[in-house]
Amino acid sequence: MTILLTGGAGFIGSNLAKQLLEEGHQVICLDNLDSYYAPDIKWKNVQQTLSIPAYHFHQGDIRDSDLVDTLFQTYAFDAVIHLAARAGVRPSVQDPALYYDVNVNGTLTLLQAMQRFGVTKMVFASSSSVYGDSPQVPFTETDSADRPLSPYAASKRAAELLCHTFHNLYSFDIFCLRFFTVYGPLQRPEMAISQFTESILNGQAINVFGDGSTARDYTYVDDIVSGIIQSLKNLKGYEVLNIGGADPISLANLIRVIEQAVGQTALINRLPMQPGDVQQTYADIRKATQLIDYHPSVRVEDGIQRFVDWFRSRQDADLVMK
| DSSP assigned state of 181 | -
Catalytic residue among 99, 131, 152, 220: 152
CA distances from 69 to 173, 266, 267, 297 (A): 20, 50, 51, 39
DSSP E strand stretches across the chain:
2-6, 26-31, 55-59, 79-82, 121-127, 173-179, 182-183, 205-209, 215-216, 219-220, 238-243, 249-250, 267-271
The yes-or-no answer on residue 152 being catalytic is yes
Whole-angstrom distance, CA of residue 185 vs CA of residue 12:
9
10 to 46, 67, 162, 174, 226: CA distances (angstroms): 9, 20, 23, 22, 17
How far is it, in rounded angstroms, from Cα 278 to Cα 280?
6
Distances in whole angstroms, Cα of residue 87 to Cα of each of 37, 73, 138, 254: 10, 29, 24, 22
Task: Answer left, alpha or beta for residue 220, where phi above 0 means left and psi between -120 and 50 means alpha.
Answer: beta
Task: Give me the helix-helix angle, 300-321 and 192-201, nearest 10°.
Answer: 60
**With contact defined as beta carbons under 8 Å apart, do 229 and 193 qualify?**
no
Catalytically active residues are 152
